[in-house]
Structure 1
Amino acid sequence: MKEENGIYLFGIIRSEEKESFGPVTFDEEMTETYTLQFKEAAAVVAPVSKRIFTPNRKNLTAHQGVISGMMEREFDVVPVSFGNVFRSEEDVNALLENLHPELVKLFPEVHGKIEVGLKVTAKKEWLEELTSGNETLTAQKKRVDAKSKEAGYFDRMKLGEMAANLVKEKREEVETDIHSKLESEAVSAKSNEPSGEKMLLNGAYLIEKEKEETFDEAVNELHERWKDKVDFHYTGPWPAYNFINMKLKVEN
């Protein structure tokens, strides 16, 4: 049976010239990147066998490597999430034509800008200190410990709610002190839903590339202030994933 081929889409850049970002390998299959043009919009693509792409570490790294190559060459990048495969070049060309009015507006918005991310996670020791220092929560824990598993069911539920409320308070504190400060330094900012019980902030920030050093300094200052209580996971630079909302749909 003949294997069906498709066109993998990495992202869209502003360029009227044919571009290449070198070879890329997915699942041991090496292929070459190139661009498909529509006016000043160029889709960065590669021919692949059409299949479901597994988001394993190697494949994700390969995808991000091509995106990084676009950024290193200082193109205005509209990124596309991992695993988007189209049936043909014609479909990608149709997509570019459909999206062109939106891209004309987007390119200036992302020009000279990068996205950085900051995840703030509470240290276990700090949470334990907060818990032990909360008289109401400590008293509730004693009630739970004094009862059998069955008899203490509702008390355990209440204890869980109290602990969740304590974390919520700290999230609001971090939102006010850390996120608001960084938001004032950014072109745009988003506070995404935290993942995990100990995460207090999952922030994304769109910043001017030329002001990256100033933003880094603001992050470092905040880390110095909070380092005994939380861990910072600061990432980037990325293209503006959190600040672009486009539907990759080919009109029939």
Structure 2
Amino acid sequence: MAEDGHACYVYGVVPDEKGAQGERADQAVKDLPAVGDERSPITFIRRGGLAAVVSEVPTGKPLGTPDDLRAHAGVLDMLAASGMPVLPLRFGTVVRDPRAVTDELLTEGHDDFGWALDRLRGSAQFTLRARYVQDEVLREVLEEHVEARRLREELEGLPEAAGYDLRIQLGQLVVEAVGAKREADAREIEHRLAPFALAVATSEPVSAEGVVDAAFLVEDKKREVFGQAVEELAQRWQGRVRLRLLGPLAPYDFVADALRQGEEVG
């Protein structure tokens, strides 16, 4: 595949499936834009029951544009949506040529990749992003905290300079109160949804109104009940918390654990 000035960009590793599943995987990535060169065809390099998902990339072109990032995730997520177990590799994984993909990547990582794919088979990642409706959560804080109401009342009608210290106090109180709510609501999300998942990985959101970003590894046979649980939570928190469910996705947040379990078995 590679010529002078080109190398192999590797998206991830999948089982070398035959029959209908393999055909679905081929169709899933057909005509998708590729990293580095959107017109480069996405193909599979096979070795020992595994296949690396690759495309040709110019060696002299820096990677990392928004289009590159979207292309990387798009290939992996389409494979996951097709039902193919997929082990994502880190963005920017480039191997010098197809022989190095087979002789180094797939051969040296064969056992670990195989064990990890076995653990991820029949499941996909769903990511839930929870964000507060800021006016509503502020109303809750003022209702629940007498001191917050008192400070706000004192500030009414005061010039900005005269109320500086009070505004600092009120701001700190609100930040602490919202932080406590965030911890409680993140626990509630995990409590309600974790029973329908094989594993959960959470991270703090970047935005001030964020509650939590939670990734769930969900078995295919439990997707419906998991989705129902998310919908029930959305209805319960309607007008208070906005929920956005993404998936099925490649299992980005569960790769390290799957590989680590493979090492322990080995």
TM-score by length of 2: 0.80
Which of 227, 231, 237 is 1:216 aligned to? 227
CA gap of 1:178–1:3, structure 2 versus 1, over 3 A, is same
The alpha-carbon deviation at position 64 of structure 1 amounts to: 3.1
Kindly state the Cα deviation for residue 220 of structure 1 after the two structures are TM-superposed.
0.7
* Match of residue 5 from structure 2: 4
The structure in which a higher percent of residues are strand is 1
Shift of residue 83, structure 1, vs aligned partner: 3.2
Q: Hey, which of these two has a bigger chunk of helix by percent?
A: 2
The answer for the alignment partner of 2:263 in structure 1 is: none
Q: Which amino acid is 2:109 matched to? A: L
Correspondences of 1:19-168 after superposition (within 5 Å) = 20=26, 21-23=29-31, 24-26=33-35, 29-50=38-59, 51-56=61-66, 58-93=67-102, 94-133=104-143, 134-141=145-152, 146=158, 149=161, 152=164, 156-168=167-179
Structure 2: any 5+ residue segments left out of the alignment?
261-266
Structure 1: gaps of 5 or more residues: 248-252
Distance 1:38 1:9 in 2: 14
SS in 2 for 1:119: strand
The separation in 1 between residues aligned to 2:188 and 2:77, in whole angstroms, is 31
CA distance in 2 between partners of 1:236 and 1:181 (Å)? 18
Aligned length: 244
Q: 1:174 to 1:237 in 2, by over 3 A?
A: same
- CA change 1:221–1:29 in 2 (3 A) is closer
Give, in angstroms, the shift of residue 204 of structure 1.
Answer: 0.6
Which of these residues, 182, 186, 190, is aligned with residue 197 of structure 2? 186
The alpha-carbon deviation at position 67 of structure 1 amounts to 1.9
Q: Structure 1 residues 3, 124: CA separation in 2 closer, same or farther (over 3 Å shift)?
A: farther
- State the shift of 1:216 in Å: 0.5
Q: What secondary structure, in the 3-state scheme, does the structure 2 residue paired with 1:31 have?
A: coil
Deviation at 1:212, TM superposition (A): 0.5
Per-residue deviation, 1:211: 1.2
Deviation, structure 1 residue 199? 0.8
* Aligned residues of 2:9 and 2:35 also touching (Cα < 8 A): no
Separation in 1 of the partners of 2:137 and 2:220?
Answer: 36
CA RMSD of aligned residues (A): 2.8
Structure-1-length-normalised TM-score: 0.84
The structural deviation recorded for 1:43 is 0.6
Q: CA deviation at 1:78?
A: 0.5
